[in-house]
Amino acid sequence: MNIDFSHIADLFGTPTYVYDASEIRKRIRMVCSVFKGHEFSILFALKANSNSALLRLMAEEGVGADVVSSGELVAAKRAGMKPVLWNGNGKTVQDKKFFVKQGFDILSLDSVEELEMWHDSDLVKLLRVNPNIDARTHPHISTGMKHHKFGVAVEEIHKVADKIDGLHVHIGSQITSVEPYRAAYTQLVEEIKKHNFKTLDLGGGWGIDYNGESLDIDQMRSVINTVFSGFSGRLIVELGRFIAGPAGSLLTRVVKVKKGEKTFIVTDAGMNNLIRPALYDAFHRIRVLEPVGPASLCDVVGPLCETGDKLGSNRYLELPAEGSLLLVEDTGAYGFSMASNYNGMPLPAEVMWEDNSPRLIRRRQTIEEMYSNVILD
């Protein structure tokens, strides 16, 4: 990223999420290359990042939306994304009314029983299948085993085969091997042939390089071309992390460097801004943008009242000074979208870097805004 982070910090303060527009476009085109020669649609999973300015950029590249809530639907519609697929395992009657009024294109059914809510609809309907495949990823984000809450067993497909248009599978997130995909897709191809389905949603979960390991795009292209060589229908892929993750960084400022038996670099960003290290023990590369001392073993921690409030543990980093800038990389997905007001902290700002200049796409939340919906009397 050739981004002037110091300039951004001067303009908008810290902590701030910064997104590289050119990286998002580049990664969308990488996905397109995997499906060359097939009829396909790319949907962005809004759970990864739902800022409508970023979504509009994706819509310009022909990307649609994978949404699970009314809020995500509004964000996708505001950005002009199409098609829109409604996903999720807990759709309510109230949700249905809202979605029908707003309009969407594809429905993923999480159970056979859910079809009863939509028997009179002319939407494209897909049945989510649970192929009982181990995605070999963090257990919190593995979704394709029979004990997980999503989808139905392959054996259930025949019950509604004449009432649906295709199948949907999503086996997990941050998957770095193509073999679980090959196994899941091979299973579903047999069902496609059996029932003559014309649409297959392949899910997403393509792993990115947080710490040296990522999904091999060439291998994925080979899997798609091999498994679906005889399929003439439409393939759908729903990706969030792969498109947005490497395009984003969390810019934070050092509050102090606390030296003792262990060195702590205390920053103004914490797990309220980026919860992945605390929640998943996730690794994110951290760069000291303005070092003043040699590399030392340290923890990078936030300002919250939790021992688990860490951005990185046991890192060899060049030591910064108080007021120096740090960059937590690969945070474009599941960063802001999982941020909270914990400890009474306002949500951070978001900035997009495009055409060699920064643009504010979400202003920093104020304390007044944080409490504006609290009723005292």
- Tens digit of pLDDT for each residue in 185-244? 998 888 888 899 999 999 999 999 999 999 999 999 999 999 999 899 999 999 999 999
Task: Tell me what pLDDT residue 90 has.
Answer: 81
252 within a domain of the structure (yes/no): yes
Residues 234, 121 share a domain: yes
Task: Tell me what pLDDT residue 87 has.
Answer: 95
The better pLDDT of the pair 153, 95 is held by 95
The pLDDT of residue 22 is above 90: yes
**How far is CA 226 from each of CA 186, 189, 195, 249, 342, rounded to the nearest angstrom?**
10, 11, 20, 36, 48
Spatial separation of the C-alpha atoms in residues 278 and 276, rounded to whole Å: 5
Look at 99-108, 151-160, 267-276 and tell me which has the smallest mean pLDDT.
Answer: 151-160
Residues 239, 250 share a domain: no
372 within a domain of the structure (yes/no): no
The pLDDT of residue 146 is above 60: no
Residues 185, 40 share a domain: yes
- What single-letter DSSP state applies at residue 273? T
CB contact at 8 A, 151 and 158: no
Mean residue pLDDT of the chain comes to: 93
Average pLDDT over residues 88-94: 88
**CATH number of the domain within which 269 lies:** 2.40.37.10
- Take residue 236 and report the two structure tokens written for it: 């759908």
Q: What is the DSSP string of 190-250?
A: HHHHHHT--EEE----B---SSS----HHHHHHHHHHHTTT--SEEEEEESHHHHGGGEEE
Active site residue 305: yes
Task: Tell me what pLDDT residue 159 has.
Answer: 87
Task: Tell me what pLDDT residue 140 has.
Answer: 47
**All residues at 6 or more sequence positions from 323 whose CB lies less than 8 Å from its CB, including other chains:** 253, 254
333 within a domain of the structure (yes/no): yes
Task: Tell me what pLDDT residue 277 has.
Answer: 97
Q: At what angle do helices 70-79 and 52-60 cross, to 10 degrees?
A: 50
Residues 88, 143 share a domain: yes
**CATH number of the domain within which 182 lies:** 3.20.20.10
State residue 79 phi and psi, 5-degree precision: -85, -10
377 within a domain of the structure (yes/no): no
Q: Express each pLDDT in 53-86 by its tens digit.
A: 999 999 999 999 999 999 999 999 999 999 999 9
Residues 300, 240 share a domain: no
Spatial separation of the C-alpha atoms in residues 305 and 300, rounded to whole Å: 15
Residues 348, 237 share a domain: no
Q: Which residue bears the tokens 């919860």?
A: 275
Task: Tell me what pLDDT residue 341 has.
Answer: 98
User: What band does 25 get if pLDDT is binned at 50, 70 and 90?
Assistant: very high
Residues 32, 90 share a domain: yes
Q: Express each pLDDT in 303-359 by its tens digit.
A: 999 999 999 999 999 999 999 999 999 999 999 999 999 999 999 999 999 999 999
315 within a domain of the structure (yes/no): yes
Residues 138, 13 share a domain: no
The pLDDT of residue 287 is above 70: yes
Average pLDDT over residues 146-155: 64
370 within a domain of the structure (yes/no): no
Residues 296, 231 share a domain: no
CB-count burial class (<10 Å; 0-12, 13-18, 19+) for 263: middle
Residues 224, 214 share a domain: yes
Task: Tell me what pLDDT residue 233 has.
Answer: 94
Closest CA to 44 of 64, 30, 18: 64
208 within a domain of the structure (yes/no): yes
The total number of structural domains in the chain stands at 2
Task: Tell me what pLDDT residue 136 has.
Answer: 55
- Take residue 134 and report the two structure tokens written for it: 């181990």
305 within a domain of the structure (yes/no): yes
Q: End of a domain among 244, 279, 307?
A: 244
Residues 147, 30 share a domain: yes
Task: Tell me what pLDDT residue 130 has.
Answer: 84
Q: End of a domain among 215, 244, 273?
A: 244
Q: End of a domain among 200, 222, 244?
A: 244
pTM: 0.94
Residues 178, 59 share a domain: yes
Which residue(s) pair with 68 in the sheet? none
Q: Which domain holds residue 64?
A: 21-244
User: What band does 138 get if pLDDT is binned at 50, 70 and 90?
Assistant: very low
305, 374, 375, 376: which one is catalytic?
305
Task: Tell me what pLDDT residue 156 has.
Answer: 82
Spatial separation of the C-alpha atoms in residues 216 and 312, rounded to whole Å: 26
